Amino acid sequence: MKKIVLTLTVGLIIASYCSSTMAVDTVYITHDSEKAFKAGETKGVLINSEGMLSLGYVNHKIFDQTDEVWVFNDLLAGADGALYASSSPQGRVYKIMADGSTELLYGAQDNQAKHVFCLAQDDQQRLLMGTGGDQGLLLRRNGDGAIEQLFCHEDILYIWDIVVDQSGRIYLATGPKGQVIRLSADGQKTEFLHDAKEKNILTLALDETRNVLYAGGDEFGLVYRIDLAGGQTTITLDTGHEEIGKLLLQETTGNLYIATADPGAARMRKVLLLKNGGSGRAPKADNAADENSEPAAAKDEKKLAEDSNENKPSEEEKRETPAQRMPDFGKVRGANEVFEVTPDGFIQNLLKLPVIFFDMAWTTHGELLLATGNDGLILSLNLGNRQAVELFDVEKADQVTALATCENGVIYTAGANAATVWSIEPDFLTEGVYESEALDAGQISRWGTITANLSSPADTAVLLATRTGNTKDPEKGGWRDWSEDQDITASQTALVLSPPGRFLQYRLKLTNTDGIQTPQVSKITLAYRSPNLTPQVSAFDVTVGEPRSSKNKNPDTAAVMFKWNAQDDNKDEMKYELFLRPLGYEYWIRFAKDIKETQFKWNSRTAADGRYEFKITASDAPANPPDQALSDSRVSKVTLIDNTPPEVAAVNINRQDKHIVFSVRVKDALSPIARMSYCIDGGDDWPAISPDDGMFDTPEETAAFTIDDDNNNHLLCLQVEDERGNVLYHNIVVTP
C-alpha cells in the first residue's frame, strides 16, 4: 500500500468566537478528529485515527457464494498465484484464479467434511486442508487433484490451524482436547507437542530462527511458548481475555503479535444469522458423550446456531463442538486487544477496540492488517506511530474473518454475513466522497465560509459542495439540492453557496488522475451566523415570607423571594430587572436592576401593605449593541404584601364561680387570623385559644377562654398571629 503522510489534528470542537458584547458574531464548527469525521458517511474515503481523510484503495468483489456458504474460514495466497478459500458449513474449498475463474476443489460430495477451517501449502506446494465436524482430518490435495488423508485421530474433532516449517514438517492446532501436534512431511510420524487445559488450540505461529512454536487457545486467553528443541512449554502471555483470535510472527524481528477475540467485547451491530435463523456460534454437545458418540455439529449442522453455554459437558470428556470464530454477541465486556511481544519477552499493548479480531496479516510495507467484526472492517495498524486506519469496509459483511496478502501488494479478504471475497489493490481510487452529518445551527442561519486544511500532491484535487435544510434528516426530504462543486485544492476555502437554513451538510470529493497519490484533508472549519433571538422567560414564581422550620424558628415574614427561568437560544449573556405596581395602577416601578442570577430576595417592608403585581424582564443587552438588544417579560400573579400585625378590637372580662372569662374580638386589615394564645404572669406556657366558630379563616375572629380566679393581680399577654406571620402581643391586667 502507498504511504500516507499524516499531519497533526485535534479533537472535535464546536466553538463560538464571540466577544463578550456581541452575541451575533460568527460561530465556528470545526471537524478535525476521527470522532467528528466518523459522524458522517464515506464512500471510497478512509479516516485514520488522527482524523485524516484520504482516498481509499481500488477494490473488487472477486467471489460471492452467499447462497452456498455462510462463512469463509481461511484464505491462502498460493505459490501458484491462485487464491484458495475454505468455508462452512458445506466444507468447501475454492480455487480462485487470477483471471477471476473459480474451481471447486473440495466439498462437492456429501460424505466430505462439513467445515474446512484452515489452509496451508506443504514444502512441495501441495494444498493442505484442516477440517472439523464428525472428525478432524488433515487432507492434502496432490498434483493430480486427488484428495489424500494425511492425519486422523479419534480424539481430534477439529483442526483449527496449520503451520509448515522449511523442512516440510506440519504443525496442527486442534480441539476439543487442546492438543498441539507435529507431523512428518509425509504424515507418517505423529508427535503430541503439548496438551493444554483449554479445549481448543486455535492458532499457531512458528519462529524457526529460535526453534519456537507459539500457540493460543479459546478459554483462558493464554499464549503458550513451545521450545521445539527442548520440549518445554511455558506461558508467554496471559492476555486477560478468554480467546486468542490470531498469532502472527514478524520474521525480521522475531516479534510476536497477538490478537484477542472475546465475543462479548465486540460492539453490537447485526447479529450473525445462519441459514436457520440462529446466532453464529457452535453449540456444546448435548451431554457428556463417550468415545463413540457423535458431536452435536456432526449430528445436525443447523445446530451451529444454538447457545454455546447450554448443557456444558464434563471436563473429562470435552467433546463439545467448540466455539467457531464467530461471536455469540453476549453482553459487551470492554474491548479486545492487540499485543506485541519481543523475543526477550517485552510486552506492549498496541491497540484496544470494541471489536473482534479474527485474523492478521502483513502488508508489503510492514503494516499490520486486522480483520474485524462486528462492523466488517479491515484496519491497518502502523507499528511505528500506532495509528490505525480503516482500510476497507467490506460491503454488506458484518465480520471479516480471513486475510491473505501477496508480494505485489494486493490484499485479499473474506467475510461472513455475507460470505464474499474481495481484493484490495495498492492503487488509490480515482474518486472518493465524504458527506458530513447534518450540522445544526439551532436556528435558521446564514452560512459563511468553509476553510479546509489539506494537502494535494500533483494530479489530485478536493471539491466542496453544500446543501441546507430545516429538518435533521436530509433523507426525509425538504432540503435544497447540493450546490455546485467548488475546487478548493489551491485556495483551501470557499463561500457556502447554499441559502440560509438551520441544518447544513458539506460534501468533499477527493480525486486523483493516476492512482498514485491522494489528497488529504485534516480539518474543516465552517462559519455561520444566526439572527439575534428574543430571550424567553418561561416561569416566574413569587414567595412571600420565609418558611418556618426547625432550623429557622424565627423566619423573616417580610422577605419576598423571586425565582424565574429564562433562556436565550443565542446563548447570550443576560441581565434581569424587577418591577412592581400596586393592583390597579397603570405604570410599573423598577425596584431592582442589573441582576445576573435567576433569583432575588426583596424586603417588602420598603412598600406599604397591599396587593401588588410583579414583573421580571430578561434582556440580552450585555451581549448586543443597544439598538439590537431584545427582551422578554413575565408578570406574576397578584401577590399580597402584609407586614402589619392584627389588632385587638374588644376585650370583655367576666367573673363566674371562681373563674374569669375573657371574650375578645381581633381583626386584621388584609390577612385572615391564623392563631391565638395567651400566657399568664410572664410564664413559658402559651395555651392555644380556639375561635368561637371553631376555625380561624377570616380577618376578624371572636374567641373566649377561662382562667382560675384566685383574687390576685395578674398580667395576661394575648398573642395574635395572622396568616402572613405578623404577630400582635396585647396585655390585659386582671385585678381582684
Q: Which residue has the higher pLDDT, 264 or 691?
A: 691
| All three cell numbers of 467 | 446543501
Enclosing H/E stretch for 591: strand 589-595
pLDDT digits (tens, 9 = 90+) for 281-313: 333 333 333 333 333 333 333 333 333 333 333
Q: What integer pLDDT is reported at residue 417 of this predicted model?
A: 76
Separation CA 622–CA 629 (nearest Å): 8
pLDDT in tens, 98-134: 888 999 999 878 778 889 999 999 999 999 999 998 8
Structure confidence at residue 287 (pLDDT): 33
What pLDDT shows up at residue 170? 97
Give the pLDDT mean for 12-41: 70
Name the nearest CA neighbour of 183 among 234, 139, 227: 139
Contact 228, 213 (CB under 8 A): yes
Q: Check residue 272 and give its pLDDT.
A: 33
> pTM of the predicted model, to two decimals?
0.65
d(CA 188, CA 180): 16
Residue 75, pLDDT > 80, answer yes
Q: Is the pLDDT of residue 267 over 70?
A: no
Mean pLDDT across 509-534: 93
Phi-psi region of 178 (alpha: psi -120 to 50; beta: other; left: phi over 0): left
Burial readout 256-265 (b: 16 or more C-beta within 10 A, e: otherwise): bbbbbbbbbb
Q: What mean pLDDT is reported for the chain?
A: 85
In angstroms, the CA 316 to CA 318 distance is 6
The reply to whether omega before 418 is within 30° of 0 (cis) is: yes
Q: What is the pLDDT of residue 278?
A: 33
pLDDT score recorded for residue 547: 82
pLDDT value, residue 329? 35
d(CA 110, CA 18): 74
Rounded Cα gap, residues 399 and 700, in angstroms? 84
- List, for residues 627-644, the tens digit of each pLDDT value: 889 999 999 999 999 999
Per residue in 372-387, pLDDT (tens digit) is: 987 788 999 999 888 8
Q: How confident is the model at residue 551 (pLDDT cuts 50, 70, 90)?
A: confident
Cβ-contact 196, 239 below 8 angstroms: no
Exposure string of 354-393, with b = 16+ CB inside 10 Å and e = fewer, is bbbbbbbbbbeeebbbbbbbbbbbbbbbbbeeebbbbbbb
Confidence of residue 66 (pLDDT cuts 50, 70, 90): low
As a three-state string, the secondary structure of 627-666 is CCCCEEEEECCCEEECCCCCEEEEEEEEEECCEEEEEEEE
Q: pLDDT tens digits for 386-415?
A: 888 888 887 766 789 999 999 899 999 998
Give the residue among 658, 691, 687, 656 at the shortest CA–CA distance from 673.
691
**Tell me: the pLDDT tens digits for 593-628?**
999 999 999 999 999 999 999 999 999 999 888 988
Q: Which three cell numbers stand for residue 203?
A: 492458532
- Please report which helix (H) or strand (E) contains residue 298, including its range: helix 296-299
Residue-level pLDDT at 309: 34
The rounded distance, in Å, linking the Cα atoms of 182 and 167 is: 12
Which has the minimum average pLDDT: 107-111, 258-262, 588-592?
Answer: 107-111
pLDDT at 331 over 70: no
Residue 24: pLDDT band by 50, 70, 90 thresholds? low
Give the integer Cα–Cα distance in Å for 146 and 571: 77
> Is 605 strand, coil or helix?
helix
pLDDT of residue 502: 94
The closest alpha carbon to 468, from 436, 492, 431, belongs to 436
pLDDT per residue over 138-174, tens digit each? 999 998 999 999 999 999 999 999 999 999 999 999 9
User: Tell me: the pLDDT tens digits for 459-515?
Assistant: 999 999 999 999 999 988 889 999 999 999 999 999 999 999 999 999 999 999 988
* 562-577 residue pLDDT tens: 999 999 988 889 999 9
**CB neighbour list of residue 534: distance below 8 Å, 6 or more residues apart:** 630, 631, 632
Taking the alpha carbons at both ends of the chain, their separation in whole angstroms is 117
Burial of 20 (0-12, 13-18, 19+ CB in 10 A): exposed
pLDDT at 733: 93
pLDDT at 23: 53
More confident residue, 371 or 306: 371
Is pLDDT of 323 > 90? no
Instruction: Work out the pLDDT band at 333, boundaries 50, 70, 90.
Output: low
In degrees, to the nearest 5, what angle opens at C-alpha 107 toward C-alphas 102 and 112? 165
pLDDT winner (highest mean) among 24-33, 50-59, 459-468: 459-468
φ, ψ of residue 265 to 5 degrees: the values are -95, 5
